[in-house]
C-alpha cells in the first residue's frame, strides 16, 4: 500500500538535505514498483486464458462432471483484475486446480493456523465469533492483521464468512481498516478428483493509496495465495 505523499513536493523551498531525502524516498518507491512489475507478466495471463477459465467456472456451475482436469496450458493461476470506473474499488477473480477434494480444500481454507502459511503478509489470524444465525447459516467472524510493506503500519481486516459446506464461502467486511471488502470462494470437483478453486473479491484500495502499486501487489499476491493454499492442501493429504 504505497502512499503517494510526494506528489505535492517541489525542490523550491526545501533545503538540500530535505530534497535529497525526497529523492531517495521516490527512488525507493520506484524500485519497489519495478520489482513488482517484473512478477506481473508471470501472474497475469493473456486475456484468452482469462476467458477460458471463466468458461470453466461457468461450466462447473452447470455440470461439474464435465470439468477439465487442468487450467489452460501454460497457466498455474488464471487471474483477472478490473478496476471500477471512477472508483477506488477493484474486482478480481482467480482460479487454479488443487489435487484434493473440496472437503480437504475447505478444511485448510477456514483454519487460522493454515492461514498463517497461505495468506500473504499475514501476521495474526483470530476467530472472534462462531455460530449459526437465525436463518440457519453457519458463520465465523475472523480478524486478520496484515503488513504488506515493512515501512507502513499493519492493516486490520475483520470479516464475516458464511459457510455452505463444501460448495462455497461468502465473506464480507465487518470492521477494520479496509473501506470495502466482500467476495466468495467456490469449489468444483472434477472427475479425476481434483478441485477447481475459484476466488472472487471486490476490494476498496482507498483513494489515498498508490493505485498502480496496489494493482501490481494484487497481481503478485493473489496467485501467491492460491499456490500456497494448494501446497497446504497437498501437504495435509500426506499427513
C-alpha distance from residue 185 to each of 17, 88, 93, 134, 188 (Å): 50, 23, 10, 23, 10
Residue 7 inside a domain? The answer is no
Look up the domain containing 55 and give its range: 16-237
11 found inside a domain: no
Does 2 map to a domain?
A: no
Q: Is residue 135 part of a domain?
A: yes
* Cell of residue 12, nine digits: 523550491
pLDDT tens figures, 20-64: 444 444 444 444 444 443 333 333 343 455 556 656 665 655 555
Q: Residue 189: how many CB atoms within 10 A of its CB?
A: 20
Helix 211-237 × helix 102-109 angle, to 10°? 120
- The reply to whether 233 falls in a domain is yes
**Alpha carbon distance 152, 51 (integer Å):** 36
* Residue 80 near residue 218, CB atoms below 8 Å: no
Q: Report if residue 5 sits inside a domain.
A: no
pLDDT at 26: 46
Question: Tens digits of per-residue pLDDT, 121-177?
Answer: 999 999 999 999 999 999 999 999 998 877 778 889 999 999 999 999 999 999 998
The answer to whether position 102 is within a domain reads yes
Question: For residue 9, is it within any domain?
Answer: no
When divided into structural domains, the chain yields a total of: 1
User: CA 198, CA 208: separation in Å to the nearest integer?
Assistant: 30
Question: Terminal CA-to-CA distance of the chain, rounded, Å?
Answer: 37
**CA angle, residues 80, 85, 89, in degrees to nearest 5:** 60
Distance (Å, whole) CA 235 – CA 226: 14
Strand partners, 89: 204
**pTM of the full structure:** 0.71
- For residue 124, give the nearest of 116, 132, 135 by alpha carbon: 116
- Phi and psi (nearest 5°) for 104? -65, -40
CATH number at residue 42: 3.30.530.20
Amino acid at each position: 500500500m504505497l502512499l503517494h505523499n510526494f506528489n505535492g513536493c517541489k525542490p523550491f523551498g526545501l533545503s538540500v538535505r530535505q530534497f535529497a531525502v525526497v529523492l531517495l524516498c521516490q527512488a525507493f518507491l520506484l524500485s519497489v514498483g519495478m520489482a513488482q512489475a517484473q512478477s506481473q507478466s508471470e501472474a497475469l495471463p493473456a486475456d484468452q486464458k482469462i476467458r477460458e477459465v471463466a468458461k470453466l467456472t461457468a461450466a462447473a456451475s452447470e455440470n461439474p462432471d464435465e470439468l477439465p482436469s487442468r487450467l489452460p496450458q501454460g497457466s498455474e493461476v488464471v487471474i483477472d483484475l478490473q478496476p471500477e470506473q471512477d472508483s477506488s474499488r477493484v474486482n478480481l477473480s482467480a482460479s487454479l486446480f488443487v489435487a484434493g477434494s473440496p472437503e480437504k480444500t475447505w478444511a485448510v481454507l477456514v483454519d487460522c493456523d493454515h492461514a498463517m502459511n497461505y495468506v500473504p503478509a499475514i501476521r495474526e489470524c483470530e476467530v472472534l465469533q462462531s455460530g449459526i444465525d437465525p436463518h440457519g447459516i453457519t458463520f465465523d467472524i475472523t480478524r486478520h492483521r496484515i503488513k504488506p510493506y515493512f515501512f507502513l503500519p499493519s492493516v486490520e481486516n475483520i470479516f464475516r464468512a458464511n459457510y455452505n459446506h463444501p460448495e462455497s464461502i461468502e465473506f464480507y467486511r465487518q470492521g477494520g481498516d479496509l473501506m470495502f471488502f466482500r467476495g466468495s470462494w467456490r469449489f468444483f470437483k472434477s472427475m479425476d478428483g481434483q478441485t477447481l478453486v475459484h476466488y472472487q473479491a471486490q476490494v476498496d484500495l482507498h483513494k489515498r493509496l498508490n493505485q498502480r502499486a496496489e494493482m501490481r501487489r494484487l497481481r503478485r499476491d493473489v496467485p501467491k495465495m492460491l499456490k500456497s493454499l494448494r501446497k497446504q492442501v497437498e501437504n495435509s493429504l500426506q499427513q
